[in-house]
Structure 1
Amino acid sequence: MLPEKTDTRWNRLVTGQQNYRLQTVPASMLLSRIVRSVQADNSPENIQRCIEEAHSFFMRYEAILDRDIKTIFGA
């Protein structure tokens, strides 16, 4: 199950503070794009937008991203 968007792990994910080796290509591509976006604009508004986008993506595809979710957020 995904943590709430307010969980600090989302912030670490989108800011690239922690690197993850993801199994699925779409998740890796999304994460790379989001981290680049935050590097270009690290305003709180952009970080929140990126968290929203990542959360929505992982929520929508939760069933097929199970291993990546466990990698990022734990069991």
Structure 2
Amino acid sequence: MVPDRTNPRWKSLVSGELSIPYTLLATKFLMARLTRAAKADPSAGNLSKLVDEAYTFFQTNEKIAAKDLQAIFG
């Protein structure tokens, strides 16, 4: 199950505070892009948008990204 968007780990994830060794290539690419976007614009509005994008990705790909979800939210 994908944790709720309000879980503080989402913000830590997209901001780059969390460094996770992802197993899924798509997750690696997505998180690299989201982290770059967060560093370029760390405003609350942008971080919220990036969290929404990460959440949607994991919600859509929950089965294939299960190992990455486990690594993030353990």
Alignment TM-score, normalising by the size of structure 1: 0.97
Q: How many residues align?
A: 74
The runs of at least 4 consecutive aligned structure 1 residues that moved more than 3 Å come to none
CA offsets, 1:28-51, max 9 Å, x none? 100000000000000000000000
Distance 2:41 2:12 in 1: 15
Distance 1:18 1:4 in 2: 17
User: Percent identity between the aligned chains?
Assistant: 34
Structure 2 unaligned runs (5+)?
Answer: none
CA offsets, 1:19-71, max 9 Å, x none? 00000100010000000000000000000000000000000000100101000
* RMSD (Å), alpha carbons: 0.4
Alignment correspondent of 1:39: 39
Alignment TM-score, normalising by the size of structure 2: 0.98
Give 3-state SS (helix, strand or coil) of 2:23's partner. coil
Structure 1 unaligned runs (5+)?
Answer: none
Distance 1:21 1:39 in 2: 19
Offset of residue 2 of structure 1: 1.1
